[in-house]
Amino acid sequence: MRPYNSREEFGSIAETSITLVFSMLSFHTSRFSDSFWEWILIFFMYYFVQSNYFLYLCSANPQNTFFSLMKHFLFACLLALPALQAFPAGRPYGSSDVLPMLDRMIGQRQLYIDRKEADIAHQKELYSVASGMQKFGICSRIYESYDGFNTDSALHYSQECLRLARQMGDEVLIQRSLIYVSRCMSINCLYESAQQILDDMEGRVFPDNLNLYAKAYTALCFWESEFTTLPEVKERDRENISRFRRLTILTEDSYAWRRQEEAILLADSAPTRALELLMPVLDSLPADDDNVRFLSNSIGSFYGRLGQQDSALYYYAVSALADMEHGVMEHASLREVALILFRRGDVERAYRYMNCCIEDAQFCKARLRTIEMAGDMPVILDAYQLKIARQQTFRTVMLIVLACGLALLILLLAWSYRSGKRLASARAKALSASEQLKQANLQLHESLRQLEESNQSLRDSNRIRSAYVTQYMKECSDAIEKLGVYHQKLLKTAMQSNYQKLLEAIKSREFVDDSLKSFYQHFDDTFLSLFPQFVEDFNKLLKPNQQFELPQNARLSTELRIFALIRLGITDSEDIAHFLRLSTKTVYNYRAAVRNRALASRDLLEEHVMQIGL
């Protein structure tokens, strides 16, 4: 090769070399490359630096130690860059073929959701023109399609099945529909309501419904035992699970499901025997059989108990694939895959899978799965963020090292940029001062806003206090006057020696009822005078189809009076019950029922009520 005699020509070559270094770093950081292409690029740069572009200059100008040092620095950078692979995206497993397939399926899960919704839409078209027993059958299939896909819709169609069954007067179908409703309540963590439905039919379950009843009771006890903290409840649920699994085995028509229940009963004492029982059944099923997802999940749990995490991961992944293909949105198997991957250090993939589980659980409105994953996701998220922070720190260190090397080159031209840097520094300080002033102004505005809110709250409290003190004095005066009239009436009756009439007057609640009616009337008038738009504003917090009608003759219903008292700051159920002459349980039920009608979060409804009129 020909020698290069000019420093300008070498500068061009050095600039090209450094550009290649940064290109490789950016290429890696973008995460669209793999180690093979990075090493090809490193080899090319090694040949480029080893060529006489550097060697000639260093040999012809031995006194030029700066460029010799730069040569060694660039070599060190080239050797250090592969260390970026210390944070790999994943690690190989025995299930390496299944996990990439699961990644692809998660990326395409909207296709399976669309396919499921299209199938349900077709069933709804058939349902709209069907009648009689055929209509009930289609409604049952729609419920089964929504089961595991959309809990709210599943509950709706289970109730629709119940309505149709009652119209036909078929007791078997009515009982089956109630079992559907019970299962939906179990998934929504309404264990007491679900158990009440199933307990009501205990001992009188029709033979055609016995298997469905056993499965529903097994699922209820299993889910309740997973979340309860009471030892006696856990023990009771374990006994019920064992009892109803045996009932399922006796009444199940599906050989695969029957074998699965037998294996689960064996798993606690002999997981190896359970695997031997279940593996041939899974191997005999076609890949698209719906039982594959259940059997694979059970086999994964058996391997987990044996400590064989590779096999557990594989079968949980197979079960998760089958869930995706069948449009199931409440993922139990995918969560187990995420937890195993997390324990193995594949935090990024575990985070993606757990995030998919949570998104689909929210879509499905499966409260059970959301609660189940609430304890897992923060741990995985923290680990994922820590991993990203470590990667970023490492890359930052590498960038700083490279930047230090470039700084040695830039020093040759530093004198031409000195004044520009001073100007940039002054501008940065000015911008910083401006930003600090802006932040101070924002804080001041926020303080003023909070002060104004406090003043408004005080004004509102004073206004309410003034109105109710006046009303209280008036009520006391009226009550004294009524007592006086009532006393004169009783005295007159007694003086006439009409003791029977006197006794009837004392026993009568007419005076008390009239007083209460008058009291509530004055309360309603006073409250609505203070908050004339209370009912309209309160209805805005509720679902459109569950709002209260505007009170007739300015009279509030019991529910509205309860929330009117809450608006006045009386939030204790016992105080409200005493005020309205109700039981505490009745007040609690009213509050819970109205909270369930909330348009937004039910837990924030009463806080929003406190803001009405501000």
Structure tokens at 329: 């949105």
CB contact at 8 A, 154 and 146:
yes
Residue 139 confidence (pLDDT):
93
SS3 annotation, 386-433:
HHHHHHHHHHHHHHHHHHHHHHHHHHHHHHHHHHHHHHHHHHHHHHHH
Q: What percent of the chain has pLDDT over 70?
A: 70
How wide is the angle at C-alpha 289 spanned by C-alphas 288 and 294, nearest 5°?
115
pLDDT at 58 over 70: no
Can you give the pLDDT at residue 173? 92
Q: How many CB atoms lie under 10 A from the CB of residue 265?
A: 16
Residue 260 counted as domain residue: no
Highest mean pLDDT among 234-238, 317-321, 554-558: 317-321
- The answer to whether residue 296 scores a pLDDT higher than 70 is yes
How confident is residue 54, by pLDDT bands cut at 50, 70 and 90? very low
Phi, psi (deg, nearest 5) at residue 520: -65, -35
Nearest-5° Cα angle at 396, 394 to 399: 115
| Residue 434: both structure tokens together | 């401006």
pLDDT at residue 304 tops 80: yes
Question: 183 in a domain, yes or no?
Answer: no
Of 379, 382, 376, the closest CA to residue 357 belongs to 376
Residue 524: pLDDT band by 50, 70, 90 thresholds?
confident
**Structure-token pair, residue 418:** 């000195």
pLDDT at 95: 47
pLDDT tens track for 247-267: 888 888 888 888 888 888 888
524 assigned to some structural domain:
yes
Between residues 234 and 459, the one the model is more confident about: 234
pLDDT single digits (tens) 496-509:
766 676 666 666 66
pLDDT attached to residue 223: 76
- The whole-angstrom distance between residue 77's C-alpha and the CA centroid of its chain comes to 45
Of 374, 284, 325, the C-alpha closest to 106 is 325
d(CA 185, CA 194): 6
The C-alpha atoms of residue 399 and residue 258 are separated, in whole angstroms, by 61
Q: Which of 104-113, 117-126, 405-414 has the highest mean pLDDT?
A: 117-126
Range of the domain at 554: 456-610
| Interval 449-473 mean pLDDT | 63
Nearest to 329 by CA among 367, 283, 279, 284: 367
**What is the mean predicted confidence (pLDDT) over 344-360?**
83
Q: What is the pLDDT of residues 155-171, one digit of tens each?
A: 899 999 999 999 999 99
Which of 143, 127, 207 shows the shortest CA–CA distance to 171? 207
Looking at the structure of the chain, the number of domains it has is 2
Residue 116 has pLDDT above 90, yes or no: no
Pick from 12-21, 198-207, 229-238, 276-285: least confident: 12-21
Residue 93 confidence (pLDDT) above 50:
no
As a whole number of angstroms, the distance between CA 469 and CA 471 comes to: 5
CB-based contact 490:502 (threshold 8 Å): yes
Three-state SS at 542: strand
Total residues belonging to the chain: 614
Helix 499-507 × helix 414-495 angle, to 10°: 170
Give the per-residue pLDDT at 379: 62
Answer yes or no: is 272 within a domain.
no
Q: What does the block give as tokens for 264?
A: 């689960």
Distance CA 606, CA 563 (A): 8
How does residue 33 score in pLDDT terms, banded at 50, 70 and 90?
very low
Separation between Cα atoms, residue 341 and residue 351, nearest integer Å = 9
Residues 6+ apart with CB under 8 A from 427: none
Inter-residue contact 211 to 252 (CB < 8 Å): yes
> What percentage of the chain reaches a pLDDT higher than 90?
7
Distances (CA, A) of 138 to 206, 348, 452: 21, 43, 60
Assign 372 to helix, strand or coil: helix
Position 572 in a domain: yes
pLDDT at 387 exceeding the cut of 50 = yes
Q: CA of 345: how far to CAs of 3, 255, 580, in Å?
A: 52, 39, 59
* Final residue before a domain boundary, out of 63, 86, 109: 86
How confident is residue 288, by pLDDT bands cut at 50, 70 and 90?
A: confident
| Whole-number Å distance between alpha carbons of 271 and 292 | 19
Scanning the structure block, which residue is given the tokens 């009076």? 561
Do residues 197 and 178 touch, judged by C-beta distance below 8 A? yes
Asked which of 174-178, 311-315, 449-453 is least confident by mean pLDDT, the reply is 449-453
pLDDT of residue 459: 67
**282 located within any domain:** no
- Please report how many Cα atoms fall inside a 13 Å half-sphere around the Cα of residue 48, on the Cβ side: 19
* C-alpha to C-alpha distance for 354 and 377, rounded to whole angstroms: 7
Last residue of a domain, one of 61, 86, 111: 86
> In angstroms, how far is CA 226 from the centroid of its own chain?
18
Say whether pLDDT at 27 is over 50.
Answer: no
Q: For position 171, what pLDDT does the model report? A: 92
CB atoms near residue 87 (< 10 Å)? 15
Q: Is the pLDDT of residue 400 over 90?
A: no
- Which amino acid, one-letter code, is at 327? G
- Asked if 296 and 282 touch (Cβ cutoff 8 Å), the reply is yes
Q: Sorting pLDDT into bands at 50, 70 and 90, what band is 315?
A: very high
* Cα–Cα distance for residue pair 264/278, rounded to 1 Å: 9
With 0-12 / 13-18 / 19 or more C-beta atoms within 10 angstroms meaning exposed / middle / buried, residue 42 is middle
Task: Please identify which residue in the block is written with the tokens 């073929």.
Answer: 97
**Residue 255 counted as domain residue:** no
Tokens of 41: 């690029």
pLDDT band at 178 (very low <50, low <70, confident <90, very high): very high
Enumerate the β-bridge partners of residue 26: none
Dihedral angle over CA of 461, 467, 469, 472, nearest 10: -130
Domain boundary among 38, 66, 86: 86
Confidence of residue 472 (pLDDT cuts 50, 70, 90): low
Q: Is residue 207 part of a domain?
A: no
Q: Give the tokens for residue 223.
A: 């889910």
pLDDT tier at 381, thresholds 50, 70, 90: low
